[in-house]
Amino acid sequence: MFRRNSYIAIVAILLLLAAACSNKKVNNPLANVGSKQPDKVLFDKAMDAMKHNRYDVARMTLQTLINTYPDSEYIARAKLAVGDSWYAEGGTASLAQAEQEYRDFETFFPNMPEAAEAQLKIANIQYQQMEKADRDFTHAKRAEEEYRNLIMQYPDNPKLVKEGKLRLLEVQEVLAEREFEIGRFYYLRGSYDASIARLQSLIDKYPLYSKADEALFLLGQDYEGKIARVRNAPKCQSPGKPPGCLSDKDKEALLAKISPPLTKKAADAYDQILTRYPLMDRGDDSKKRLAALHQPISRPTKAAVAQNRAEEESRKEAAGLARLMDVVKKGPDVSQAAKVGEPSLTDPTPVSAKDVITDSMRQAMGLPAGEKTLTVEAVKEETPGANEPAPRSDNPAPAANANPFATPSAAVDLNELKPTTPPESAAPKSTLATADTNELTPTQSPTAASNEAPLPPPVQLNELQQDQNAQANSANSSSSLATDKDISTSKKKKKKGLKKIIAL
């Protein structure tokens, strides 16, 4: 028994020694295979160099692998690792080189799972170089484009797509802040048409902007400002007429044409605050402006209240230290960006100030929106005649009263035959025009036409009354509208530090 146990112990010891003396295989997490091939050794050496921040050594090793073993299974991973080395090194030049490496990887390996990761890193490169909203926005626009490409080109990668959407919302918050500041500047300067173009384009493109209610309120103020400008125009008094003056008659006629459409547009802007952003700060101010304009006050639906509540709760307030660092850091503050909702993936047609001005002129002239106001008539110039010959000394001088530009008449020939003029009695002139046989004449006598009953007048509908009746019917038939309790209890009592603009 003792001898048998000794044999077992000796065999176990020999097996352990054999295992200890054997060569170990290095497992690479990327390849998930064990190998001692030279391309594998080079790849592992490069990964170890990157782990110790020796990026130049890692790139040289990876380039050796790519040039020496073009058919290796590590070629794709080596090309991606070269871009990662530049990306990890940082700096403007290194990030530009990393972007180029990632684009080459997408070009040569578009079907690999790592292609979506390369696209995400391209977008992150632009995101890291973004500046504040009041500075250069080149990197912000490029980041928006790259994140959109990630979402639309690689929808089968939900993890990276989700990360790309969150980053895209932050980028669009910065771009929307820039548009808002420009529109607000034009409003304070009294350039209402330019402000309308900026703010309307902002609302159409970035509905998840944290100050969307403020932008809509300024938009309504722009339309009211255009009405107030005509109403407060100076009165023309002879003999001195200041520029932009209007007589009382002209002012009343102009207000009658432009006031209804501009009031309607201002009411639409205030109404959108109540129906789309009911929990934001400008809700109460919008109700006051609608009441002052004698417009109906809409009530939001429960779905709109829930949506706006989720958007407001997803925004986070920046801490005191973060606000202090925001003054000195290069990048923008994206803490107010929404974390829920779908970002805008397409750009709607922007509103131009030229279109706004053209629309205002048509309203002032009382023309429809699509009618042309000016017509151009081409004038055909007559070809000049030949030059006149130079005067000769033997020609008689023209008379004092003669036209200097008239051509000299030919000499009168006494032998020329002239037709005889018929006597006036031979062709008497008719004093009445000959009746046209093709002229259409009415077949009904005036007496019969006067005896017919007049047609009834068309039914006149009051637009405001019709809108109020439609809203009342929809409120009675649908129970999806939010109550005052839903809005008041759900509204967040936070101060954004926004300056309230006094209504005109």
Mean of per-residue pLDDT scores for the chain: 78
Residue-wise DSSP of 203-271: HHH-TT-TTHHHHHHHHHHHHHHHHHHHHTPPBP-SS---TT-B-HHHHHHHHHHHHHHHHHHHHHHHH
Is residue 467 within 8 Å of 296, Cβ to Cβ?
yes
Listed residue (141, 119, 140, 121) closest to 129, CA to CA: 140
What is the number of other CB atoms lying within 10 angstroms of the CB of residue 265? 18
pLDDT tens per residue, range 112-126: 989 999 999 999 999
**Which of the two residues, 131 and 251, has the higher pLDDT score?**
131
Is the model's pLDDT at 187 over the cut of 70?
yes
Beta strand ranges found along 32-185 (DSSP E): none
**Which of the two residues, 272 and 422, has the higher pLDDT score?**
272
Is the model's pLDDT at 190 over the cut of 90?
yes
Q: How far apart are CA 322 and CA 62, in angstroms?
A: 40
Mean local confidence (pLDDT), 470-481: 56
Is the model's pLDDT at 132 over the cut of 60?
yes
Instruction: Tell me the percentage of the chain whose pLDDT exceeds 70.
Output: 63
Q: What is the pLDDT of residue 248?
A: 83
Q: How far apart are CA 325 and CA 136, in angstroms?
A: 20
Is residue 192 within 8 Å of 222, Cβ to Cβ?
yes
Q: How far apart are CA 409 and CA 431, in angstroms?
A: 37
User: CA dist 374 to 355, 361, 366, Å?
Assistant: 15, 12, 14
Q: What is the pLDDT of residue 495?
A: 46
Mean local confidence (pLDDT), 286-311: 95
Which DSSP state fits 336? T
Q: How far does CA 499 lie from the centroid of its chain?
A: 25
CA gyration radius for the chain?
42
Is the model's pLDDT at 209 over the cut of 80?
yes
Q: How far apart are CA 394 and CA 458, in angstroms?
A: 84
Q: What is the pLDDT of residue 360?
A: 87
Is the model's pLDDT at 159 over the cut of 70?
yes
* 473 band by pLDDT with thresholds 50, 70 and 90: low
**Which of the two residues, 480 and 222, has the higher pLDDT score?**
222
Q: What is the pLDDT of residue 239?
A: 55
Is residue 336 within 8 Å of 213, Cβ to Cβ?
no
What is the number of other CB atoms lying within 10 angstroms of the CB of residue 207? 19
User: Dihedral sign, CA of 299, 305, 309, 311?
Assistant: negative
Is the model's pLDDT at 483 over the cut of 70?
yes
List the end-to-end C-alpha distance of the chain, in Å, as a whole number.
Answer: 109
* 474 band by pLDDT with thresholds 50, 70 and 90: low
Q: What are the backbone dihedrals phi and psi of residue 417, each rounded to the nearest 5 degrees, phi first?
A: -85, 130
* 280 band by pLDDT with thresholds 50, 70 and 90: very high
pLDDT tens per residue, range 8-65: 666 666 665 555 544 444 344 444 444 468 889 999 999 999 999 999 999 999 999 9
- Name the one residue in this structure whose structure tokens are 């006597």: 423
Record the tokens describing residue 134, joined without a space: 């009041």
Q: What is the pLDDT of residue 417?
A: 55
Q: What is the pLDDT of residue 367?
A: 75
176 CB contacts (<8 Å, ≥6 apart)? Answer: 202, 205, 206, 209, 211
456 CB contacts (<8 Å, ≥6 apart)? Answer: none
